[in-house]
Amino acid sequence: MRNTKVIVALVAFVLLVAACGGKSAEEELLEQILESGGEDIGSVGIDTDSDGNVSINVEGDDGEDVSISASDDGDDVNITVEGEDGEEVTITGDDDEFTITVEGDDGGSMTFGGGEVPEDMTLPVPDGGEVVTSMSMEDGAMVTLTFPIAAYGQLVAFYESELPSGDDVYKTESTYTDDDGTHRSTTWMGDTFLVSIDDCFGMESTSLDSVCVTLNEFGS
């Protein structure tokens, strides 16, 4: 996927939420997109409705495609960049948070800022966690969830009882303190999995107020 398409998407997005006065938003956006796009831009389409919502579609000559839509107040935004080989990047969000999903041409996907536990994940997942990152690949899966910091001991006990034990499973524990506070970490590693529990920052926090649980499954 060429960098041009990403640049076009970002330029259009900035103008979309910031354009005001003078020319209409459509005219300003169209001019900037064409100026930034280069020769590989095939066609540009811009639509608005009576409520002020805007959608933009940029199609490249080589099969790439960029779609952007936003509400009139900029609260709801959706950006999709599709590559010529079928790979796709989608960004959705509002004033509070954004979710980024990357889908590869091989069927694998990654989601940042939300998502679901991968369907092919077989490691046990405690109830009550919030998914912040997930990944599904041909030979494995990964997910990170956050829990309240008070749940650290319960989470360690949960995996002590749920994970297999034996000489092929290695457990490590560590604690260190820095300017942010005390960080605890517990990790189990087996032939086909890695589980880690760590004190961490919440999604919208500036302090250690959460516990991150990261589950990795991979081929042996």
Quote the pTM value: 0.59
Provide the pLDDT for residue 165: 81
- The angle formed by the CA atoms of residues 211, 141 and 91, to the nearest 5 degrees, is 75
Give the per-residue pLDDT at 50: 67
User: What contacts 24+ positions apart, CB below 8 Å, involve 154-157?
Assistant: 154/126, 155/126, 155/197, 155/211, 155/213, 156/186, 156/197
Name 218's Cβ contacts closer than 8 Å, sequence gap at least 6: 139, 140, 192, 193, 194
User: Which positions of the chain have pLDDT values less than 50?
Assistant: 1-7, 10-11, 14-23
CA 123 to mean position of chain CA atoms: 21
Residue 211 is predicted with a pLDDT of 96
How much is the pLDDT for 206? Answer: 82
Cα 91 to Cα 81: distance, rounded to the nearest angstrom: 9
Structure confidence by residue, pLDDT tens digits, 130-185: 998 888 877 788 899 999 999 999 999 999 999 988 889 999 999 999 998 999 99
pLDDT of residue 4: 47
Do the beta carbons of residue 145 and residue 212 sit within 8 Å?
yes
Q: 3-class secondary structure for 46-113? A: EEECCCCCEEEEEEECCCCEEEEEECCCCCCEEEEEECCCCCEEEEEECCCCEEEEEECCCCCEEEEC
